Amino acid sequence: MQSVIKAVRHLRASMPERKLAILERHLFARNRTTLTALGQAYGVSRERIRQIKIQVAAEVDDCVGPEIAIIAATVRRRAGPLIDEAGLTSLMDDLFESRSLDDPSTDLARRIVETTLGYDCVHGVCASRSAREALGGLKERARELADDVGLIDEDALRATLTEERWHGLFRLMTEWCGLAWVNDRLALRYSRKAHAKAAVLSIGRLATLAEISAESGLSRTQLGSALSDTSSVARASKTKWGLREWVDDEYKGIVAEIMERIEEDGGTTAVARLVRELPKKFEVKESSVRRLAGTPQFVVDDGNVRLAKNSEVVLRDINDVVDGATEEGWPYWSFQVEGRHLDGYNVTRVPPEIADALGCPRNGSIKAAVSRPTGCGRVSVNWRLTSISGADVGHVSTALRRLGAAEGDRVSLVVVDAGVLEFRRQVQGERDQGAAAKSRRPTGCG
């Protein structure tokens, strides 16, 4: 190697500036400067730089070509067709021993060897020219074998390899192609869906979110959305998930199951059937079934339950549910700020009469403008007749922070008009005044 470095040093010293720039910045550069850029730097055309490049390459070949070819062949035999980038770097370090790469001639000699080797390093793996031919169609075959979340049958992909020698290099091949390993399963790429389904497959049976979370490392919140959005995964009960092929009857939620049985029975079903079937089949509480059957979405009469008609959903007068009115005469309802509201969670237990006054349709949602405090985006108002906690208002954190509200403060949600509301932070005097006004309302009147 010392003789090669010495020859490169002589070559560098003998070259004029322009040739040396082409040699070091283009021919054997790790980050190549284009021929066009070099032409602009030296005031000549790209074609002229290309012609000089051919001359420089010939001079390098005459100077160290045969020796470099022998060295490169030796390194290729040791490295094999595929090697991780760190391993190839280690081989090159051994080849150049402790010689300092701060020396321009040593650094250039190393780059000439690296270029001659012909390896292409991608995703931390270096592939020879022969390996790249084998790798050419591997990713395409992986795409063809991938399931709905990108998981790939490893055995099926291995079976597409035509030569036995590649089987021992399979892991490196997948890494070069940019494929991912998720829970020891091969995937086109990392995603929460792939991670969640891989965990279910690893468990191999119906499992709870807690079990899948422990296997995958994903939070229950992340898992809930990932599993729900995966067509090949189904919910077997309130608590357990599995592959769709493992589940005889998918659990859609208590409300959906009640509606399904109402439809099955021709528009009315017995409460007794609901409390007999649903808790046992889907691991839900009987009390939850009864509570949801008693929401405004349904009508329970003489032991039977049916869907409520719009005319049967009765709302109170808004004055009976609000905490008072502003000086402008606008009704307001108050809530205590919790830390979760400041972190982006919805304000719940909003009276449905408030949602109705804001123009939110039943079993629907709207985006309402915030006129106070200013500079806030729209908030969401959501009203489901099946909710046991009334309506809710989301995206309130910005408004609360602009008010300077802190955990424990009371804030008024003011109905200005349909689709328009305000948030006002209450002071102690306003709280007392509102409470007094509420206590003065007449009760028991016909």
Last residue of a domain, one of 247, 281, 302: 247
pLDDT tens track, the chain, 446 positions: 788 889 999 999 999 999 999 999 999 988 899 999 999 999 999 999 999 999 999 999 999 989 999 999 999 999 999 999 999 999 998 888 866 667 889 999 999 999 999 999 999 999 998 888 888 789 899 999 999 999 999 999 999 988 888 999 999 999 999 999 998 899 999 999 999 999 999 999 999 999 999 999 999 989 989 999 999 999 999 889 999 999 988 888 899 999 999 999 999 999 999 999 999 888 889 999 999 999 999 999 999 999 999 889 889 999 999 999 999 999 999 999 999 999 999 999 999 999 999 999 999 999 999 999 999 999 999 999 999 889 999 999 999 999 999 999 999 999 999 999 999 999 765 555 554 444 444 444 33
260 within some domain: yes
Query: Both 270 and 343 in a single domain?
Result: no
92 within some domain: yes
What pLDDT is recorded for position 102?
Answer: 77
Query: Both 70 and 109 in a single domain?
Result: yes
Q: What is the DSSP letter of 371?
A: E
Instruction: Please check whether residue 159 is in contact with residue 144, taking contact to mean a CB–CB distance below 8 angstroms.
Output: no
Query: Both 366 and 430 in a single domain?
Result: yes
Query: Both 425 and 331 in a single domain?
Result: yes
- Please give the Cα distance from 343 to 288 (Å, whole number): 28
What pLDDT is recorded for position 442?
Answer: 42
Q: Give how many domains the chain has, as a whole number.
A: 4
Query: Both 343 and 424 in a single domain?
Result: yes
Instruction: Please check whether residue 355 is in contact with residue 421, taking contact to mean a CB–CB distance below 8 angstroms.
Output: no
What pLDDT is recorded for position 441?
Answer: 47
Query: Both 282 and 209 in a single domain?
Result: no
- Please give the Cα distance from 383 to 356 (Å, whole number): 8
Residue with tokens 């290099």: 169
Query: Both 94 and 182 in a single domain?
Result: no
Query: Both 280 and 347 in a single domain?
Result: no
127 within some domain: no
- Please give the Cα distance from 232 to 28 (Å, whole number): 50
What pLDDT is recorded for position 440?
Answer: 44
- Residue 339: other Cβ atoms inside 10 A: 10
Query: Both 325 and 298 in a single domain?
Result: no
Last residue of a domain, one of 247, 266, 283: 247
Helix (H, G, I), strand (E, B) or coil at 172: helix
Residue 373 preceded by cis peptide, ω within 30: yes
353 within some domain: yes
Query: Both 153 and 174 in a single domain?
Result: yes
Last residue of a domain, one of 52, 87, 122: 122
| List of residues 6+ apart from 402 with CB closer than 8 A | 373, 374, 375, 376
32 within some domain: yes
Instruction: Please check whether residue 185 is in contact with residue 154, taking contact to mean a CB–CB distance below 8 angstroms.
Output: yes
167 within some domain: yes
Helix (H, G, I), strand (E, B) or coil at 12: helix
| List of residues 6+ apart from 68 with CB closer than 8 A | 4, 112, 113, 116
444 within some domain: no
Structural domain including 334 reads 318-439
130 within some domain: no
Query: Both 322 and 308 in a single domain?
Result: no
Q: Output the six-digit token pair for 351.
A: 């009276």
- Residue 331: other Cβ atoms inside 10 A: 20
Query: Both 304 and 386 in a single domain?
Result: no
